[in-house]
Amino acid sequence: MTFSKEQISSFQRKKVENITKVAEKQSGSTYLSRNALQKMRHIEGSLFEANCAFLDCSAMAAKLNALNDNTEEQVRSHQREAIHLVHLAAKTMADAAQQTTKVIKGAKAVG
């Protein structure tokens, strides 16, 4: 099955829009959905397709490469942020438990 350059171009534009939406959607969230990660994995396939279909179109490949790099950096950043928040929550819970124990030990019995 062969596709015309117009069909491939349309497909690639939709991929770029989809990638941009994923990056924008994930930019405010520390949780990365499985769907977002799967979509990002398809970026590499899109880059390969763009290079095969548009041998003379380095601008499209450059744009997809830039989107891929940007999205990967955002994923790494969100993962670091999520790890930091989990560690912070664990430390906060441990500190709260320690303070509660001190209060209980220091409390006088009523009666």
What confidence score (pLDDT) does residue 28 get?
60
What confidence score (pLDDT) does residue 100 get?
86
**Mean pLDDT per 10-residue interval, the chain, length 111 residues:** 69 74 64 67 70 66 84 89 91 89 78 58
Q: Give the whole-angstrom CA distance, residue 78 versus residue 83.
A: 9
What confidence score (pLDDT) does residue 27 get?
60
The CA angle 89-95-100, to the nearest 5 degrees, is: 125
